[in-house]
Structure 1
Amino acid sequence: MLKIYKQRVDIEFIENINYFIDKYEYTDSLYFYSNNHEHKEVFNSIKEYIFNNDILDKKYLLDDLYIVIRCVKNIDNKKSFDVHFDNYKNTFLLPIKIPLIEPKGQFFIWENTRYEVNGILSHIFSKLFYQNFITRFLIRNNILKTFEKISCEVGDIVHFNGFNSLHYNEDVSSERRSILIHSRRGIKNSSIINLSERLSQIF
Structure 2
Amino acid sequence: MNDNNQTDQRDPVRVFEGVVPHSLLEYMNSSIDTARHEWRPADGRRAATMARNFAELLRASDSFNAMESRACSAARGWAAVVLGKELNGEPLYVLRCVDSGMPSQSYLRHYDSHILTILIILQLADGYDRCGDLVVYKRQRESISLIANVRTKTWLMIEHALPLPVRRALLDRDRSRGRCDRIVCLPGNAYVFNGFVTLHSNFDVESGERRSLIIHYYDPGLTAGLQRITQTFRGFRDRLADLF
Q: Same fold per TM (> 0.5)? A: yes
* Kept in 1: contact 2:149–2:223 (CA 8 A): no
Contact 2:126 2:209 in 1 (8 A): no
Q: 1:45 to 1:27 in 2, by over 3 A?
A: closer
Aligned-partner Cα distance in 2 for 1:28–1:175:
15
SS class of match (2:126): coil
In 1, Cα distance between the equivalents of 2:140 and 2:97?
26
- Given the two structures, how large is their TM-score scaled by the length of structure 2? 0.69
Q: Does residue 1:193 correspond to 2:201, yes or no?
A: no
CA gap of 1:50–1:202, structure 2 versus 1, over 3 A, is farther
Question: Is the aligned partner of 1:117 residue 2:149?
Answer: no
Whole-Å separation in 2 of the counterparts to 1:200 and 1:90: 22
Unaligned segments of structure 2, at least 5 residues: 1-11, 74-87, 238-244
Name the residue aligned to 2:154: 128
Higher strand share goes to which structure? 1
- Please report how far the alpha carbon of residue 155 of structure 1 lies from its aligned counterpart in structure 2 after TM superposition: 0.6
Local SS of the residue matching 2:188:
coil
1:53 aligned to 2:46? no
Aligned counterpart for 1:106 among listed residues 125, 130, 133: 133
Question: Which structure: larger Rg?
Answer: 2
Between Structure 1 and Structure 2, the one with more helix by share is: 2
> 1:67 Cα deviation (Å)?
0.6
Question: Quick one: structure 1 residues 28 and 44, their matched pair in 2 at CA, closer, same or farther if it must change by over 3 Å?
Answer: closer
Q: C-alpha offsets along residues 125-173 of structure 1, whole Å, 9 cap, x if unaligned?
A: 1123445147653214555531111111111110011111111111212
Map of 1:178 onto structure 2 = 212
Cα shift at 1:202: 5.0
Give how far 1:114 is off.
Answer: 1.4
Distance 1:202 1:58 in 2: 37
Aligned length: 197
Q: Once the two structures are aligned, what percentage of the paired residues are identical?
A: 20
Q: Which residue is equivalent to 2:188?
A: 155
Distance 1:146 1:115 in 2: 16
Q: Specify the SS of the correspondent of 1:57.
A: helix
RMSD across aligned positions (CA): 2.8
Aligned-residue offset at 1:8: 1.5
What residue ranges of structure 1 are gaps of 5+ in the alignment?
none
**Helix, strand or coil for the counterpart of 1:75?**
coil
The letter of the residue matching 2:112 is: D
Amino acid of the structure 2 residue aligned with 1:11: H
